[in-house]
Amino acid sequence: MSGNLLTQLLLNGLIVGTLYGVVAMCFVLIYKSTQVVNFAQGEFLLIGAWTCWWLVVEAGLPFWFSFPLTFVFMMVFGIALQMVVLRPLIGEPIISVIMVTIGMSLFFQSITKWIFGADVQPFPEIFPVKAVDVFGLQVQPAYLMSLVVSVLVMIGFAWFFKYSRMGLAMRATAFNQQVAQSLGISVKNVFAMAWAISAMVSALAGVVVGMVNGVSGALSFFGIKVFPAVIVGGLDSIIGAIVGGLIIGLLENFAEYVDGQWLHLGNLYTVAPFYVLIIILMIKPYGLFGTHKIERV
């Protein structure tokens, strides 16, 4: 029985871990291509989820229409944020930029609370709630959908950075902005694009979580979970972000199991990832996948 509980929790860990991975990828995307540490990453989930919720519940639009509309809105939002708030900060000290993104985070949290209130608002039911049986485990269809969406997003990212023209341009910009410009790449466009993609994909994650847990300010906690994920994986590695997200998701659930079975400390699982984070950083200061400069001999 407890073996079954463990597998169930690990499955949950896998599902939530891939979501963390997706959000962590969005964070790394911004960090890598624009060197901005975005403390407002979690708020992108929040804004995306509220936008979609509003379109469905308040504006009464069908979900299949609201969902892409949310994307368009988030794309415009990401570009506007980059152009209006972050572009003027190019060349300013890192600490100033960090202060600004922390400010953005607080601002978006308050303004969504002001507009939508502090209560949890459920999404109208889009998927059946009845759990389905997968290899003897009970899984909610919404969770399955979340897993599928996350994996699709990851494949999409991989394709984008490996094969698309703009993806290559973003990697070149991340490598060196002057080199990118010498190739005819507009660094300004790349920056705006990084924010747009990051905002859109985070919103996707926000909607997915909102459908499972309801929409509320708690969504921005995802932004906090992303830090251990990206630091474990290495701040500048997309693969690291995915692996880091998975590790954090699994750890949380494993810690919950250990706590429930033996320790009974309660809520240990929310902090466990941070302990692991400290240990990993002591062993590998650049994270598991963080890059060192290529040295030729």
| Interface residues toward another protein, by CB under 8 A | 165, 168-169, 171-172, 175-179, 181-186, 291, 294, 296
Token output for 93:
């000290």
Q: What's the min distance (Å) between Cβ of 183 and another protein?
A: 5
CB of 239 to another protein, least distance (A): 12
Q: Say if CB 131 and CB 64 are below 8 A apart.
A: no
Smallest gap from residue 288 Cβ to another protein (A)? 17
Q: Which is nearer to another protein, 82 or 173 (CB)?
A: 173
Phi and psi for 121 in degrees, rounded to 5? -110, 120
Closer to another protein by Cβ: residue 169 or 205: 169
Closest listed residue to residue 272, CA positions, set 230, 231, 225, 237: 225
Give min distance, CB of 96 to another protein, in A: 19
Reading the block at residue 170, the tokens are: 């973003």
Identify which of 164, 40, 44, 198 has the alpha carbon closest to the alpha carbon of residue 105: 40
C-beta of 12 vs 177, nearer to another protein: 177
DSSP per residue, 121-160: BPPPP-S--S-EEETTEEE-HHHHHHHHHHHHHHHHHHHH
Contact yes or no for 85/107 (Cβ under 8 A): no
Q: Which is nearer to another protein, 66 or 177 (CB)?
A: 177
Q: Give the nearest distance from C-beta 173 to another protein in angstroms.
A: 10
Q: How big is the chain by its Cα radius of gyration, in Å? A: 19
Choose between 2 and 178: whose C-beta lies nearer to another protein. 178
